Structure 1
Amino acid sequence: MKRHEIETLLHTAVEGYDAERAYQERDAWHSLKFRQVIELAAAGKTADGGRNGHLWTLSRATAVRFTYALEAIRPGLKRAGDFAAMYALVDKVGHVTQGVNTRRRSSVTVYDTAFALAANRGFKPLEVHLHASPGKAAALLGLHPDRGRSTLLHKQLPGALRTWEAWQVEDILCELWRLYKKAHQEATQPTG
């Protein structure tokens, strides 16, 4: 796919981003008790109990193990002072919880769970986490994290993304990757 086509897809992803809905979803985590957030987020659910579209492949058994493991370190999670500290704790638990630490799901499971827990505590990520789809979309745009990192700093983003907060850029990159896959599939589909 040519550069201008990718930029058109990025423009479509940005234009279609529903910031109001995203803020409502993020803020919904803040109104819950911390224990509820652990239970819902670790099970791949949204704050209202619906299924988190990112984590549809998380098995019930894995969700239960992940919930118990997070519950065991709840005091430490509550003491986390920012998103980075929350993410580090959830990542540590994810790596030792059977079923969470898989190539395909671990970082998105960890990110979404840490995001929910941090939102409950009033924190947000300051860097764009490049798990799964956002990482692939960033590569399409020619964006690569510094060596040894899996995040992008705000100053590394192109102008079209600099007006958004890091967590919103992650959402937009997810959508960009979805649009890219759809366009690629349509372009390679046999005609006739």
Structure 2
Amino acid sequence: MAKAAIHIEMPLGVVVRKTPGVTRWASWNWRAVAVLPGAGPADWVELRREGDAVEYHAATLPLTLWAAETEAYMANLADSQPSIYLVMRDEAESDRPMNAVLVTASPFEGQDYADSGEDIVEKIPMTEGLIAWVRDFTLEHHRDEAFVKRRRDKSRIDLVEDGRGDARIRQDSDVYRAPRRIAQ
């Protein structure tokens, strides 16, 4: 009998700051700067403007914690600054500057998205309340897995089998023999 997936979810607002770019190749610099636990729905709502710098409540996404991922959350909480990882995509056909796709507390999942090279992954510091929420869930559901050392296979791989060829093909002589000269 399969065990039901245990998870909890919280809406998490994401604040993104837009500042002027410093090179001629990037006219704007986009950076995730904060999270808003329990935020309501939003779609690029302007929060604050200071000269050319603008902060937006870009999106509200569900932060889901899974009981099977507690090892990743433990690694995140052990970091000097526990963080939320925001995955964004720059989609040209969209009317939004960036599409916020996912928020996660798992550094392993954040790394998986960063490895693809197609997504932008931003690390956002967690608030104290969010750290406590993740820590409480993790401590409740984390189970240490005992290390099991695997046994070595006893087959001999150091034996030499030169000239054997494919065992499925029946031949009387060496498969890799030199071609014979045809006498004329």
Per the normalisation by structure 2, the TM-score is 0.24
Q: Which has the larger radius of gyration?
A: 2
Q: More relative contact order in 1 or in 2 (CA 8 Å, sep 6+)? A: 1
Identify the structure with the greater strand proportion: 2
Per the normalisation by structure 1, the TM-score is 0.23
Identify the structure with the greater helix proportion: 1
